[in-house]
Amino acid sequence: MATMTELGIKGAIQDILITLDDQIHLIRPLRRGENLFLYLAIDKVKGNLGLARHRLQKLESELVV
């Protein structure tokens, strides 16, 4: 996030995606908790990236920090 500031990039990070051969990892920074994030790893073949992102967003909205 400091890099974004240095480069003058506006906007908030919704999520960070890491893809491996057989897994997808999602990191979702929490808007209400500085330096806190949700982390999810799903199977690349069996998982559904759109659904995973939607559920992480819903979980964040219900989370009490």
4-28, pLDDT tens digit by residue?
888 889 888 899 999 999 999 999 9
H-run or E-run covering 7: helix 2-7
Q: What is the pTM of this model?
A: 0.82
pLDDT band at residue 65 under the 50/70/90 scheme: confident
> Could you give phi then psi for residue 41, rounded to 5 degrees?
-115, 130
* Residue (of 27, 25, 29) closest to 12 by Cα position: 29
Residues 6+ apart with CB under 8 A from 2: none
CA-atom Rg of the chain in angstroms: 13
17 within a domain of the structure (yes/no): yes
2 within a domain of the structure (yes/no): no
Structural domain range at position 30: 11-62
DSSP category for residue 8: T
Q: How many domains does the chain have?
A: 1
